[in-house]
């Protein structure tokens, strides 16, 4: 069996022919090395051990002295260490837990280290798992491991001083990966958000419309859209300036949020135009939503002058397949509201292909 040099003793750990290998079970090791080599927790305790926050390291190795030394080394630098004795159980852990670093022996039972590397790299997702593969020395074994997906290769017998240095490198790379993932997530959020109002932008709205239309079609549910346009907004901007106009748009976005449900999709559709996509909502409920919002905008205490908005409401038939038709119908109803004098809600009657129920509310 291979030897592992412990830097604290500067001599190889004793390994004899009778040295036991670990049983093929998962051992969750908190910040105490007593779980390895001492009294083991019961099977129920192992399964129920809660995951701790922070970096989780998986050690996949069936050589008991190697596991003990690695756990002692790793657990002082991370929050959670999991030790398994074969590749099959290692893969099971990886499918259930978020693991940042894997230290795996090339020749472990079950799935060997190379196959485990390949499976880890074949997974999809934004979480990166750093892999340190250990095995017999030689350029051939090292290259084979790197081609299989390992980030690093450490030849046996393992030197804990060298392993310590490799762990420092791994933590540095993982920190860079996590920082990049956070920045990418923020960029993705910004790419889908209108910076002035905080609502969805047109791109995100179009994606949501396609998704909800498909879902409504599969489930046989209605899908409604309410579109609104701020009345005389250009004149307001010309009279009071663009900062004042931005304040109006921000205020209408707030009123939209106040009246919408958590699963409604709210968007700044363009300029002074807004859209509210209302899943599982029929024509009557959609019109009621628009009427409430119209009244709230009219009644709001705007600082410079009264503000009103015109609305167009449409409902997509559950069996319809063209989500863009919903936008065209709502837009036609909105145009009808503006032609009829603004500050009103107009519903679109799909069967007659003409707007109906144009009811003026207020001036």
Q: How far apart are CA 171 and CA 165, in angstroms?
A: 10
pLDDT at residue 112 greater than cutoff 90: yes
How confident is the model over 221-233, as a mean pLDDT? Answer: 96
pLDDT value of position 352:
45
Torsion of CA 254, 258, 262, 264, to 10 degrees: -70
Which residue is catalytic, options 53, 272, 273, 291? 272
pLDDT value of position 33:
31
Q: Which carries the bigger pLDDT value, residue 55 or residue 219? A: 219
pLDDT tier for residue 125 given thresholds of 50, 70 and 90:
confident
pLDDT at residue 3 greater than cutoff 60: no
- The average confidence (pLDDT) of the chain is 81
pLDDT tier for residue 363 given thresholds of 50, 70 and 90:
very low
How confident is the model over 316-328, as a mean pLDDT? Answer: 81
What domains appear along the chain, each with residue ranges and CATH number?
4-189 (3.40.50.2300), 202-360 (3.30.70.270)
The region of weakest confidence among 29-43, 79-93, 137-151 is 29-43
* Whether residue 207 lies in the annotated active site: no
pLDDT at residue 40 greater than cutoff 90: no
pLDDT value of position 354:
52
Query: Residues 154-200: pLDDT tens digits?
Result: 998 888 889 999 999 998 888 888 887 788 777 777 778 999 999 99
Buried b (16+ CB within 10 A) or exposed e, 156-191: bebbbeebeebbeebbeebeebeeeeeeeeeeeeee
Q: Which carries the bigger pLDDT value, residue 363 or residue 213? A: 213
pLDDT tier for residue 252 given thresholds of 50, 70 and 90:
very high
Q: Which residues contact 73 (CB under 8 A, 6 or more apart)?
A: 160, 163, 164, 167
Query: Residues 54-108: pLDDT tens digits?
Result: 578 999 998 888 888 888 888 877 668 999 999 999 999 999 999 999 999 999 9
Pairing state between β 273-279 and 223-230: antiparallel
- Catalogue the E-assigned strands of 19-122: 27-29, 56-60, 80-84, 101-105
Tokens matching residue 222: 């209605």
How confident is the model over 337-357, as a mean pLDDT? Answer: 75
pLDDT value of position 84:
94
pLDDT value of position 180:
79
The region of weakest confidence among 126-135, 142-151, 313-322 is 313-322
pLDDT value of position 320:
64
């Amino acid at each position: 069996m291979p030897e592992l040099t412990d830097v604290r003793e500067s001599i190889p750990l004793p390994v004899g022919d009778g040295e036991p290998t670990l049983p093929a079970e998962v051992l969750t090791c908190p910040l105490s090395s007593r779980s390895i080599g001492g009294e083991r927790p019961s099977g129920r305790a192992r399964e129920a051990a809660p995951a701790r926050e922070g970096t989780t390291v998986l050690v996949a190795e069936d050589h008991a002295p190697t596991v003990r030394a690695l756990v002692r080394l790793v657990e002082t630098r991370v929050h959670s260490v999991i030790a398994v004795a074969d590749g099959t159980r290692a893969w099971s852990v990886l499918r259930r837990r978020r693991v940042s670093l894997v230290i795996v022996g090339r020749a472990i039972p079950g799935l060997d280290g190379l196959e485990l590397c390949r499976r880890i790299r074949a997974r999809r997702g934004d979480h990166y798992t750093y892999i340190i593969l250990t095995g017999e020395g030689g350029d051939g074994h090292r290259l084979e491991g790197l081609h299989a997906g390992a980030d690093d290769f450490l030849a046996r017998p393992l030197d804990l001083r060298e392993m310590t240095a490799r762990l420092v490198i791994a933590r540095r790379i993982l920190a860079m990966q996590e920082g990049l993932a956070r920045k990418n997530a923020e960029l993705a959020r910004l790419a889908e958000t209108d910076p002035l109002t905080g609502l969805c932008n047109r791109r995100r709205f179009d994606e949501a419309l396609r998704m909800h239309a498909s879902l409504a079609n599969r489930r046989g549910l209605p899908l409604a859209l309410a579109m609104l346009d701020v009345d005389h907004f250009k004149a307001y901007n010309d009279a009071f300036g663009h900062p004042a106009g931005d304040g109006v748009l921000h205020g209408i976005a707030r009123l939209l949020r106040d009246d919408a449900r958590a699963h409604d999709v709210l968007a700044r559709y363009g300029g002074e135009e807004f859209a509210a996509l209302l899943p599982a909502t029929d024509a009557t409920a959609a019109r009621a939503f628009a009427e409430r919002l119209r009244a709230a905008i009219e009644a709001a205490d705007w600082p410079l002058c009264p503000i009103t908005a015109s609305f167009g409401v449409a409902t997509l038939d559950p069996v319809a397949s063209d989500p863009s038709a919903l936008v065209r119908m709502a837009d036609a109803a909105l145009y009808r509201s503006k032609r009829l004098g603004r500050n009103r809600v107009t519903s679109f009657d799909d069967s007659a292909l003409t707007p109906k129920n144009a009811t003026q509310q207020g001036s």
